[in-house]
């Protein structure tokens, strides 16, 4: 038994080393036959002595585990999307804006934008812990059993890796493997898969990990997140990750490039615009990131994306088809969106039947008419859009298109304010489509997050006259719900419990849930923190509103217009009576002692854990940053603090204080 344990350990280390050399270093140390022989020996030993088998054994690569469902995991670091660009002018503007905001010489890192599935993989003490999909950016699905089958992803690390960190990248389907899969399906008279990206996504969601193992997915990893990482820039950290055993974008293949000029960025874009067709996998653009983390932190984030990165998307595939009819959609804010209904056509691996025409100006600019032969592209490879007309094929009986003047749902007159692109239905509280849209927004996850309620249920409740606005949700009763379409006892109770639970949702989310035009979740948070109560916001003047950070003229006027309407004031009053939260709940012991100060925390402390120290800074009005910059007020230094942070703090003359000095500061 002791010999078996020793042999299992030897084989595990040996096979991990062969995997690393083959998949990361492109260096084959043994033949496939020799590798398979050793792997079979390990499998046999693990079956005979399962108590000695490692959870992250190389044998896990073959898959076979069956998952009943995927666990939802909240991301420790939100997985944000990048803002997209389709022109070099946008990239030049981005680089100019970065220089202006930082007033600094900036290094950039250019990378390929892999067309696959975003993944975050956590390692603890050098061992694979879990792999989570992007999901909605806040939480994703734990697909660890399938990700473990991807041979380029190490199950155990080597070298001087951080104790606990996450590495992110893109899982994709190599073109050769994808074509082999489709050829096999064709031979078996099975329908072919449309494209590598969607097939990779479906493979990762397979409940049987042996399917993922057989298909041969691959992965490039390019972003590292953790609390105690001493390297201060993205480029060097990605290079370092290769030493830990990861397959990362290669400099020698020009998959990643560091540059300090816009010329270098544009050169990278031009190179891959042509060379992408020679890659063994699909890309849909390139990504440009600010290299140094202190500059990234200075630039910060919007609600949806980092300000320090941008994606340049390559021009999409174009096809032609017939525009059969133009119809209209009404949004929850009353915005009217014209929609082109098309003769179905294949584009980018999917069948396209509709495309947005956005607004009246776009229709006029395109000079588009019903019956035209039009050219369609997929904007960002996802949303179909009309990009031109084949005027030579225009029918002789064609007539210019007339934009509607009344709402297609309630027939109320449409209005278009100066400076606005869209026409709007002004019947805010009488247009059924708007009302249902507002209620659907109200119950959404980022808003009131009401369990047991969905889009179809809202339609049933509205059509049966049980709700006319968001406040009516809180007056629903069991007796009037039971027996309605889709309403059994369990679903009714779940809905009523979800509605009751939503009364605990904090003020900032309630404010966002009201659905005020231009008031997103970030703006709602800033309004709540500055004005504290809904009454203060309702009574606020235009001047006091625009004094708040990120609140411009348009948002301020929208707030004033919303609360000027008696119907909206009445809804707020009804929600107050139902005990929803319309004021900020003060945190016990909170102060403004550290207001305006930025702290970096490093090392091990006696009276606080690192997380407790960060919470204390936040509670007292300060801001915590992960890296040191010229804007850092204090570095709070504990035992075993990293030498790189200390060196940088001294170089930038940032004041270094101990845990005891911090406690004195807040007192």
Read off the tokens for 207. 């409940």
Residues whose CB falls within 8 Å of the CB of residue 479, separated by 6 or more in sequence, listed in order = none
State the DSSP H helix or E strand holding residue 311, giving kind and residue range, or none if neither: strand 309-313
DSSP line for 544-585? HHHTSTT--HHHHHHHHHHHHSHHHHHHHHHHHHTT---BPP
> Which H, E and C letters describe 54-77, residue by residue?
CCCCHHHHHCCCECCCCCEEECCC
3-state helix, strand, coil in the chain (%, to 5): 40, 20, 40
Task: Measure the CA–CA gap between 421 and 412, rounded to whole angstroms.
Answer: 19
Sign of the dihedral defined by the CA atoms of residues 276, 281, 286, 289, in that order:
negative
At what angle are helices 659-666 and 610-619 packed, to 10 degrees?
Answer: 20
CA distance 212 to 199: 11
Compute φ and ψ for 300, nearest 5 degrees. 75, -155
Instruction: Tell me which long-range contacts 246-251 makes (C-beta under 8 A, separation of at least 24).
Output: 246/24, 246/153, 246/154, 246/167, 246/221, 247/23, 247/24, 247/152, 247/153, 247/218, 247/219, 247/220, 247/221, 248/220, 248/221, 248/222, 249/111, 249/112, 249/220, 249/222
Q: How far is CA 131 from CA 145, 157, 197, 445, in A?
A: 8, 15, 18, 23
| Contacts with 192 (C-beta within 8 Å, 6 or more apart), sequence order | 182, 185, 186
What are the phi and psi torsion angles at 614 (to 5°)? Answer: -65, -40
Enzyme catalytic residues: 113
C-alpha to C-alpha distances, 269 to 87, 170, 239, 256, 306, nearest whole angstrom: 11, 19, 21, 11, 20
CA distance 178 to 172: 10
- Count the Cβ atoms, other than its own, within 10 Å of residue 136: 12
> Which residues share a beta bridge with 133?
119
């Amino acid at each position: 038994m002791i010999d078996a344990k020793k042999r299992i350990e030897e084989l595990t280390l040996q096979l991990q080393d062969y995997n690393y050399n083959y998949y990361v270093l492109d260096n084959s140390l043994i033949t496939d036959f020799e590798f398979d022989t050793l792997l079979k020996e390990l499998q046999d030993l693990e079956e005979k002595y399962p108590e000695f088998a490692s959870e992250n054994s190389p044998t896990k690569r073959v898959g076979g585990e069956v998952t009943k469902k995927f666990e939802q995991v909240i991301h420790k670091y939100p997985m944000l999307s990048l803002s997209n660009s389709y022109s070099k002018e946008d990239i030049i503007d981005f680089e100019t804006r970065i220089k202006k905001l930082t007033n600094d010489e900036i290094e950039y890192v250019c990378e390929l934008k892999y067309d696959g599935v975003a993944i975050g993989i956590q390692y603890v003490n050098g061992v694979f812990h879990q792999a989570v999909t992007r999901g909605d950016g806040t939480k994703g699905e734990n697909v660890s059993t399938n990700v473990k089958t991807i041979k380029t992803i190490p199950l155990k690390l080597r070298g001087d890796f951080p104790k606990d960190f996450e590495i992110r990248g893109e899982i994709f389907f190599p073109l050769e493997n994808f074509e082999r899969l489709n050829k096999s399906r064709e031979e078996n008279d099975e329908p072919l898969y449309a494209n590598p990206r969607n097939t990779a996504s479906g493979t990762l969601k397979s409940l049987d990990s042996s399917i993922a193992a057989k298909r041969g997915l691959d992965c490039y990893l390019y972003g590292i997140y953790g609390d105690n990482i001493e390297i201060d820039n993205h480029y060097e950290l990605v290079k370092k990750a290769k030493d830990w055993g990861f397959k990362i974008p290669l400099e020698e293949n020009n998959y990643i490039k560091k540059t300090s000029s816009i010329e270098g960025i544009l050169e990278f874009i031009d190179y891959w615009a042509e060379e992408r067709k020679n890659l063994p996998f699909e890309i849909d653009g390139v990504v440009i990131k600010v290299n140094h983390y202190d500059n990234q932190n200075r630039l910060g984030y919007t609600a949806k994306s980092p300000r320090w990165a941008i994606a340049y998307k390559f021009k999409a595939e174009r096809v032609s088809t017939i525009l059969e009819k133009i119809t209209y959609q009404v949004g929850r804010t009353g915005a009217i969106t014209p929609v082109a209904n098309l003769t179905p056509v294949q584009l980018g691996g999917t069948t396209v039947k509709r495309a947005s025409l956005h607004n009246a100006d776009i229709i006029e600019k395109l000079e588009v008419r019903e019956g035209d032969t039009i050219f369609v592209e997929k904007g960002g490879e996802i949303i179909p859009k009309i990009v031109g007309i084949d005027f030579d094929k225009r029918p002789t009986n064609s007539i210019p298109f007339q934009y509607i003047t009344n709402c297609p749902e309630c027939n109320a007159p449409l209005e278009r304010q100066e400076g606005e692109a869209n026409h709007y239905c002004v019947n805010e509280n009488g247009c059924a489509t708007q009302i249902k849209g507002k209620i659907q927004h109200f119950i959404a996850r980022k808003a009131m997050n009401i369990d047991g309620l969905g889009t179809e249920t809202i339609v049933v409740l509205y059509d049966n006259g049980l709700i006319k606005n968001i406040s009516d949700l809180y007056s629903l009763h069991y007796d009037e719900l039971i027996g309605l379409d889709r309403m059994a006892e369990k679903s009714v109770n779940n809905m009523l419990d979800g509605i009751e639970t939503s009364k605990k949702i904090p003020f900032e989310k309630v404010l966002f849930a009201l659905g005020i035009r231009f008031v997103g979740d970030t703006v709602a948070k800033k309004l709540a923190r500055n004005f504290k109560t809904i009454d203060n916001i309702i009574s606020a003047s235009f001047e006091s509103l625009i004094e708040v950070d990120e609140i411009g003229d348009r948002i301020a006027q929208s707030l004033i217009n919303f609360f000027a309407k008696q119907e909206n004031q009445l809804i707020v009053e009804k929600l107050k009576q139902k005990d929803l939260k319309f004021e900020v709940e003060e945190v016990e012991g909170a102060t403004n002692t550290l207001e305006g100060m930025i702290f970096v925390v490093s090392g091990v402390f006696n009276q606080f854990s690192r997380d407790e120290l960060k919470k204390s800074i936040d509670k007292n009005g300060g801001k915590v940053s992960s890296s040191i910059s010229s804007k850092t007020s204090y570095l709070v230094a504990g035992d075993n603090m990293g030498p790189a942070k200390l060196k940088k703090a001294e170089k930038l003359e940032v004041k270094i204080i101990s845990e005891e000095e911090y406690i004195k500061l807040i007192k």
